[in-house]
Chain A
Amino acid sequence: MTWQIEVDRNTCIGTGSCAGIAPEHFELRDRKSCPRHPTAEPDELLVDAAESCPVEAITIRDATSGELIAPEP
């Protein structure tokens, strides 16, 4: 199973919360968040980052089915 990681850079306000929670998955480029890799093995840290983003700019989906994993609607 593979998860797909997306950051909406128009929504991102660059709090750096995700890069602090999951530095192996997110970094700040030009003061906004970017996934280090577009996909990753399932990792609870990705859910943590998506659920903790104050503007919900991060979406985690199942790469095959496209099913939304986080954030909870």
Chain B
Amino acid sequence: MAATEPRNYPFTEADRLTVDPAFAGLRKDEPLCRVRFPYGEAAWLVTRYEDVRTVLGDPRFSRAEAVHRDEPRLRPHRGLEGSILDLDPPDHTRLRRIVAKAFTARHIERLRPRTEQIAAELADGMAARGAPADLVADFALPLPVTVICELLGVPLADRADFRTWSDALLSTTKYTPQEIQDCTDALMAYMAGLIAERRAAPHDDLLGALVDARDNGERLSERELQVLAVSLLVAGHETTASQIPNFVYTLLTHPEQLAALRADPGLVPGAVEELMRYVPLGNGAGMPRYALDDVELSGGIVRAGEAVVVCPVSANRDEAVYTDPDRLDVLRQEASHVGFGHGPHHCLGAQLARMELQVALNTLLERLPGLRLAGPEESVVWKSGVALRGPERMPVTWDRTRDA
């Protein structure tokens, strides 16, 4: 590739759930684009579906190498040291295997009835208190928080504390570096306390199983145990909590698609996949990979030692893979999206997220008929300065139910 001056990335500020039109141009004309993030060295930005999957799945691209480099990033500091996201196989496999079982489709399916019960209670609470309600605070956040707390064994009563810490952990500019460090320390100390409780007395929960793995020879360090537990707690709710209102907002702005779901709730699982493709959750691109060898992508050759950043949001709109990619179509049956990533780091919680999102949509359709924004579009307040896009507040109303 000809050496050109890197473009500053992200190209534009995120606006609600719009996708930067620049990606379509890059997929066509510059599928390997030189970019510079606010921090770290320059990198290649990869925007085509097949190239994104190659970078995420091919062992010639390394995450572990990023630890030793000035990796491109949106904020001054790196993520949590000792994270599973910074490892390559076989080191990565060692940690992943310890938790993979708890997140298989089969195990997650067992959590569905309890998740339905939690969702129903939240929706009924909204109905009982009457409209308007805040879809985020009253439903989207407490649902996945409760589920991950029960799965891990984290006391739900502590949620106000770990919510703040978790928010800071995923912040780009919302908190100062010192605040982020303080919140990270607080969350790590909190988790160390829960781990100590499990050493004192066995607990039948996922955190207890992780402590058991650490203490009975599965070769993970104390730091890895703590960071893994913190990662599960944070990743286990922030993402779904953002996607529930994102999905609802997207359906409300595509009324014919919402009508199709209302007419046939059997379409919900397919709709969740299509919404995962369509909704740009990640605010920019993260987790750069380093080429360990020269690798040829459709857009050109990445040389050994160069940094590559993939853009799943762009891959999910690739016209080479999806017909009319900018159209939301809950009946779409095309290639699987890369909204959960791809390869060894494919989202551990994907099956949990799918189940929660299906339950959330089913419950809202069934229990809050006629769900809609309570005010004008401007009444939805969007988050800023954080890694995940989504509403901070989303006032909603609905038709009065018979028994309300």
Binding site for B on A (CB under 8 A): 13-17, 19-21, 23, 28, 31, 45, 48, 51-56, 71-72
Residues of chain B within 8 A of A52, CB atoms compared: 93, 96-97, 100
CB distance from A52 to the nearest CB of B (A): 5
| Option from B93, B346, B351 in Cβ contact (under 8 Å) with A48 | B93
**Contact between A16 and B342 (Cβ–Cβ < 8 Å)?**
yes
Establish whether residues B53 and A16, one from each chain, have CB atoms under 8 Å apart when the complex forms.
Answer: yes
Mark B331-365 against chain A: 1 for CB-CB distance below 8 A, else 0: 00001100010111110101100000000000000
At the interface, yes or no: B135 with Cβ under 8 Å from chain A? no
Question: Which residue of chain B has the shortest Cβ distance to A22 in the bound complex?
Answer: B89
- A23 B105 Cβ-Cβ under 8 A: no
**A48 near B59: Cβ-Cβ < 8 Å:** no
Which listed residue, B53, B345, B346, touches A54 by the CB 8 Å rule? Answer: B346
Q: Which residue of B lies closest to A48 (CB)?
A: B93
The prevalent SS among residues of A at the interface is loop
Given contacts A15-B342, A16-B57, A16-B343, contact A54 B335 (CB under 8 A): no
B101 touches A51 (CB 8 A): yes
User: Min CB distance, A20 to chain B, in Å?
Assistant: 3
Q: Contacts of A20 on B, CB cut-off 8 Å?
A: 57, 59, 89, 343-345
CA distance A19 to B229 in the complex (A): 26
Task: Give the docked Cα–Cα distance between A28 and B338 (Å).
Answer: 15
**A residues near B344, Cβ cutoff 8 Å:** 16-17, 20-21
Chain A residue numbers with a CB within 8 Å of B340 are 15
Q: Which 3 A-B pairs have the closest CB atoms?
A: A20-B344, A16-B57, A15-B346
Query: Do residues B101 and A21 form an inter-chain contact, with CB atoms below 8 A?
Result: no
Name the B residues within 8 Å of A56 (CB-CB).
104-106
Q: Is the CB of A23 within 8 A of B59?
A: yes
**Is B127 part of the contact surface with A, judged by Cβ < 8 Å?**
no
Any chain A CB within 8 A of the CB of B56? Answer: yes
Whether A28 pairs with B336 at a CB distance below 8 angstroms is no
Of all chain A residues, which has the CB nearest B56? A16
Asked, given contacts A16-B53, A28-B57, A31-B336, whether A54 binds B351 with beta carbons under 8 Å apart, the answer is yes
Of the residues B57, B100, B335, B343, contact of A51 by C-beta under 8 Å: B100
| Bound: A17/B103 CA distance, A | 14
Interface contact B104-A55, CB-CB below 8 Å: yes
Given contacts A21-B93, A48-B97, 6 further A-B contacts (CB under 8 A): A15-B343, A15-B350, A16-B56, A20-B343, A31-B53, A54-B348
Question: What range describes how many residues of B lie at the interface?
Answer: 20 to 34
Q: Which chain A residues lie closer than 8 Å to B346 at the CB level?
A: 15-17, 54
A53 cross-chain contacts in B, Cβ below 8 A? 100, 104
A72→B336 CA distance, assembly (Å): 27
From B57, B93, B96, A19 is in contact (CB under 8 Å) with B57
Expressed in whole angstroms, the Cα–Cα distance for A45 and B93 within the complex equals 9
Collect the chain B residues with CB atoms within 8 Å of residue A13's CB: 336
Tell me how far the C-beta of A21 lies from the nearest C-beta in chain B, rounded to whole angstroms.
Answer: 5
- Taking the closest CB of chain B, its distance from the CB of A45, in whole angstroms, is 8
Knowing A16-B56, A16-B343, A31-B336, the reply to whether A21 touches B103 (Cβ < 8 A) is no
- Check A31–B335 contact: CB distance below 8 A: yes
Alpha-carbon distance between A15 and B336 when the two chains are bound, in angstroms: 9
Residues of B within 8 A of A21 (CB): 89-90, 93, 344
Complex: A45 Cα to B89 Cα, angstroms: 10
Can you list 19 A-B pairs with a CB-CB distance of less than 8 A?
A: A15-B343, A15-B346, A16-B56, A16-B343, A17-B344, A19-B57, A20-B89, A20-B345, A21-B89, A45-B93, A48-B97, A51-B97, A51-B101, A52-B93, A52-B100, A53-B100, A53-B104, A55-B105, A72-B101
B103 touches A19 (CB 8 A): no
Bound-complex Cα distance A7 to B333 (A): 22
Contacts of A31 in B (CB 8 A): 53, 335-336
Contacts of B57 in A (CB 8 A): 16, 19-20, 28
A71 vs B101: C-alpha distance when bound (angstroms): 9
Contacting residues, chain B, for A72 (C-beta < 8 A): 101
Q: Which residue of B has the minimal Cβ distance to A47?
A: B97
CA distance A24 to B335 in the complex (A): 25
* Cα separation A13 to B346 with both chains bound (whole Å): 11
Q: How many Å lie between the Cα of A44 and that of B104 in the bound state?
A: 20
C-beta contact mask, B105-142 vs A, less than 8 Å → 1, else 0? Answer: 11000000000000000000000000000000000000
